[in-house]
Amino acid sequence: MKKILVSTALLAGVLSYAGGFRVSLQGVKQLAMAHTSAHAEDASVTFFNPAGMSFIPSKLSVVAGGFGASNKVTFQNLNTLQSTETDNPLGTPIYAAITYKPIEKLSVGFSFSTPFGSTVKWPENWEGKEMVQKMELKSYYFQPMVSVKLAPWLAFGASYIYARGKVDWDKAVTQFNGTVNINDEKASGHGYGFGFYFRPDPKLDVSIAYRSAIDMKAKNGTATFKFPTQTPYSLLKLNAAGQDGFSATLPLVEEYTIGLTYKVTPKWQVSADFNYHGWERYSKLVLDFDNAPLATNNPSDPTVLVNPKNFRNSKTFRLGTQYAFTNMIYGRLGAYYDESPYTNENFIPETPSFDTYVITGGVGFKLKQFGVDIAGGYAMPQYRNVNNANLGFYGQAKARAFYFGLGLSYNPF
Amino acid sequence: MKKIIISTVAVSALLFTVTSCKTDFDTDVKDIQVSKGSADFSKYVALGNSLTSGYRDGALYIDGQNESYPSMLAGQMKLVGGGEFKQPLMGDNNGGLLLPIGGGATAQIQDTKLYIKGFVDGAPDIGPINNNKAANLVSNILKGPFNNMGVPGAKVAHLLAPKYGDIAGIAGKTANPYFVRFASSPNASVIEDFASQNPTFFSLWIGNNDALLYALAGADNSIETLTPPAQFKTYYDMLISKIEATKAKGVIANIPSVTSIPSLTTIPTNPLTAAVLGKGNVAAGEAAIDDLNKNVYGPLSQILTALGAGDRIKPLSKTAANPLLIKDESIPNLGAQITAAAAGSGNPTLVMLSAYLGATYGQARQAKSGDLIPLTTKAAIGTLETLPAPIPASLGARGVAYPFADKYVLIPSEVKEINDAIDAYNVTIKAAATAKGYAFVDANAKLKQLAGDSGISWDGVKYTAKFVSGGAFSLDGVHLTGRGYGVIANEFITAINATYNSSLPLVDPNKYSGVTLP
Q: What is the pLDDT of residue A301?
A: 84
Residue A100: name the closest of A156, A65, A147 by CA: A147
Q: Is the dihedral of CA A298, A301, A304, A309 positive or negative?
A: negative
Q: Which residue in chain B has the smallest CA separation from A292? A: B122
Say which amino acid occupies A266.
P
Task: Check if the beta carbon of residue B17 is closer than 8 Å to that of residue B34.
Answer: no
Residue B518 has pLDDT above 90, yes or no: no
β-strand pairing of B44-48 with B201-205:
parallel
Per DSSP, B132 falls in state G
Return d(Cα A387, Cα A406) in angstroms, integer: 39
Residue B471: name the closest of B433, B516, B405, B506 by CA: B516
Return d(Cα B136, Cα B141) in angstroms, integer: 11
Which residues 130-159 in chain B show a CB within 8 A of chain A? none
Q: SS3 for A308?
A: strand
Q: Judge: B14–A317 Cβ closer than 8 Å, yes or no.
A: yes
Give the closest-approach CA distance of B509 to chain A in angstroms: 10
H/E element, B215? helix B208-216
**CA A264 → CA A39, A322, A336, A362, distances in Å?**
15, 10, 20, 19
Which residues 376-435 in chain B show a CB within 8 A of chain A? none
Q: Judge: A296–B25 Cβ closer than 8 Å, yes or no.
A: no
Q: SS3 for B53?
A: helix
Return d(Cα B352, Cα B388) in angstroms, integer: 13
Task: Check if the beta carbon of residue B404 is closer than 8 Å to that of residue B327.
Answer: yes
Say which amino acid occupies B272.
L
- Which backbone phi and psi does B362 adopt, to 5 degrees? -60, -35
- Cβ contacts of residue B329 below 8 Å, gap of 6+? B363, B406, B411
Residue A271: name the closest of A38, A40, A46, A42 by CA: A38
Report percent pLDDT > 90 for chain B.
86
A303-316 residues labelled b (16+ CB within 10 A) or e (exposed): bebebebbbbebeb
Task: Give the DSSP per-residue string, A198-263.
Answer: EEEETTEEEEEEEE--EEEEEEEEEEEEE-SSSHHHHHTT--TTSEEEEEEEEEEPPEEEEEEEEE
Task: Check if the beta carbon of residue B480 is closer than 8 Å to that of residue B486.
Answer: no
Instruction: Calculate mean pLDDT across residues B413-430.
Output: 97
- Cβ contacts of residue A26 below 8 Å, gap of 6+? A35, A44, A47, A48, A95, A113, A115
- Whether the link from the prior residue into B100 is cis, omega within 30° of 0, is no
Residue A158: name the closest of A197, A130, A131 by CA: A197
| Polymer length of chain A | 413
Q: What is the pLDDT of residue B15?
A: 54
If one compares B427 and A26, the residue with the highest pLDDT of the two is B427
Return d(Cα B254, Cα B495) in angstroms, integer: 12
Residue B23: which of A130, A235, A382 has the nearest Cβ?
A382
Task: Check if the beta carbon of residue A357 is closer than 8 Å to that of residue A335.
Answer: yes
Residue B3 has pLDDT above 80, yes or no: no
- Average per-residue pLDDT for chain B: 93
Q: What is the dihedral of CA B360, B366, B371, B377, to 10 degrees?
A: 60
Task: Give the DSSP per-residue string, A81-93.
Answer: TEEEE--PPPB--
Q: Is B23 on the interface with A (CB under 8 A)?
A: yes
Residue B295: name the closest of B381, B397, B388 by CA: B397
Burial category of B68 from C-beta neighbours within 10 Å (exposed 0-12, middle 13-18, buried 19 and up): buried
Residue B108 has pLDDT above 90, yes or no: yes
Q: Judge: A357–B14 Cβ closer than 8 Å, yes or no.
A: yes
Per DSSP, B375 falls in state G
Could you report the per-residue pLDDT of B350-395, keeping only the tens digit for each? Answer: 899 999 999 999 999 999 999 999 999 999 999 999 998 888 888 9
Return d(Cα B187, Cα A401) in angstroms, integer: 68
Using an 8 Å CB-CB cutoff, list chain B residues near A260: 3
Burial category of B36 from C-beta neighbours within 10 Å (exposed 0-12, middle 13-18, buried 19 and up): buried
Instruction: Calculate mean pLDDT across residues B184-203.
Output: 97
User: Counting one residue from A and one from B, how many pairs have CB atoms under 8 Å apart?
Assistant: 129
Task: Give the DSSP per-residue string, A21-58.
Answer: S----S-HHHHHTTT-----SSGGGGGT-GGGGGG-SS
Mutate to test the interface with A, among B23, B120, B497 (most CBs of A within 10 A): B23
Mutate to test the interface with B, among A2, A3, A205 (most CBs of B within 10 A): A3
B428-466 residues labelled b (16+ CB within 10 A) or e (exposed): bbeebbeeeebbbbbbbebbebbbeeebbbbbbbbbbbb
- Grouped pLDDT means (10 residues each) for chain A, 413 residues: 32 35 75 95 94 95 93 95 94 93 96 80 95 87 96 97 91 88 93 97 96 89 91 86 90 89 96 93 87 78 87 94 95 94 93 91 93 94 94 94 93 69
Residue A3: name the closest of A171, A151, A210 by CA: A171
Q: SS3 for B2?
A: helix
Residue A6: which of B23, B32, B462 has the nearest Cβ?
B462
B164-198 residues labelled b (16+ CB within 10 A) or e (exposed): bbbbebbeeeebbbbbbbbbbebebbbbbbbbebe
Residue B239: name the closest of B133, B139, B160 by CA: B160
- Whether the link from the prior residue into B390 is cis, omega within 30° of 0, is yes
H/E element, A152? none
Could you report the per-residue pLDDT of B206-223, keeping only the tens digit for each? Answer: 999 999 999 999 999 999
Residue B105 has pLDDT above 50, yes or no: yes
Q: What is the pLDDT of residue B269?
A: 96
Count of C-beta atoms within a 10 Å radius of residue B386: 7
Which residues 437-476 in chain B show a CB within 8 A of chain A? 453, 456-462, 466, 469, 471
Return d(Cα A201, Cα A222) in angstroms, integer: 54
Q: SS3 for A122?
A: coil
Angle at B116 between CA B113 and CA B120, to 5 degrees: 145
Give the closest-approach CA distance of B407 to chain A in angstroms: 32
Per DSSP, B169 falls in state G
Q: What is the pLDDT of residue B19?
A: 52
Count of C-beta atoms within a 10 Å radius of residue A265: 9
Per DSSP, B245 falls in state T
Q: What is the pLDDT of residue A281?
A: 87
**CA B496 → CA B120, B439, B489, B492, distances in Å?**
44, 6, 10, 6
Say which amino acid occupies B28.
D
Return d(Cα B5, Cα B171) in angstroms, integer: 94
Give the closest-approach CA distance of B248 to chain A in angstroms: 26
Burial category of B18 from C-beta neighbours within 10 Å (exposed 0-12, middle 13-18, buried 19 and up): middle
Longest dimension (CA), chain A: 73
Could you report the per-residue pLDDT of B487-496, keeping only the tens digit for each? Answer: 999 999 999 9
Q: What is the pLDDT of residue A176?
A: 81
E-assigned strand segments in B195-248: 201-205
Q: Judge: B14–A319 Cβ closer than 8 Å, yes or no.
A: yes
Using an 8 Å CB-CB cutoff, list chain A residues near B122: 234-235
Residue B217: name the closest of B150, B167, B313, B153 by CA: B153
